[in-house]
Amino acid sequence: MLGCSQRALRDGVAARLPPRGVGLVERASGGGAVLSGPWMVSVSVALPPDHVWATNGLEGYRQLGRLHAAVLSGLGVATMSVPPEGVERGNQRWGGCGRWACFGSLAPWELTDGEGRKVVGLAQRRQGHGVLLVAGTLCHAPDWPLLCDALGFPGDASWLQRVTVACDALADRAFSAATLVEQLRRALASELWTPRRSSFPM
């Protein structure tokens, strides 16, 4: 899955024969390429433009990252949010290789482990009628060689393996992607859903 600003990369992939089983999708949000599959849990949250999480470009990132950190902590996975002032330092720590991939660089309020390896990536799409927030959590190690070969960067696979880490490698107990899905669903419902008052007299 490619970000909307990666059309040149998309055209390059289209000119080659992609590996068997790999499909190319261009998403409406920005950011780098993502290898979607059973190793990742994705969350999409659509909000009205006046929602408190949508007040500016970074507030939604901060809130969604905070929620993910709390849920992961409850599942035995310790993570850290990257504040805006720490993004450049975090990216410099690993060098500039692989920035074409979503998990190859950091953005504000994304989650890492204590070594700065990325666990949760964030993206958004802002339009006049609303904001779409998206998060992707690495539950298991992705097939980085597959992604790198498909997009023409075979030398970046080992680098992506070093700068990322999956939840099952960090957890202090058995980790379940299905449990993460359920806990995220509950946390989002508790955080965002407000029951409407009945217009009828009781």
Instruction: Give the model's pLDDT for residue 199.
Output: 45
Selected residue with higher pLDDT from 178 and 35: 178
Span 178-186, average pLDDT: 97
Q: What are the pLDDT digits (tens) for 92-145?
A: 887 766 678 889 999 999 999 999 999 999 988 888 889 999 999 999 999 999
Q: Using an 8 Å Cβ cutoff, are 80 and 112 in contact?
A: yes
What tokens appear for 106 in the block?
A: 């950091």
Residues 6+ apart with CB under 8 A from 190: none
| pLDDT band at residue 198 using 50, 70 and 90 as cut-offs | very low
- What backbone torsions phi and psi does residue 162 show, to the nearest 5 degrees? -80, -35
- Check residue 132 and report its DSSP letter: E
Q: Please give the C-alpha separations between residue 53 and each of 48, 58, 132, 164, in angstroms, as whole numbers.
A: 9, 9, 10, 27
For residue 196, pLDDT beyond 50: no
Q: Which of 103, 169, 109, 98 is closest to 139 using CA atoms?
A: 169
Q: Is 24 exposed, middle or buried (0-12, 13-18, 19+ CB in 10 A)?
A: middle
pTM summary value? 0.84
Instruction: Give the model's pLDDT for residue 147.
Output: 87
Residues 6+ apart with CB under 8 A from 79: 68, 69, 72, 73, 111, 112, 113, 119, 120, 170
Q: What are the pLDDT digits (tens) for 26-84?
A: 666 656 788 888 999 999 999 999 999 998 889 999 999 999 999 999 999 999 999 99
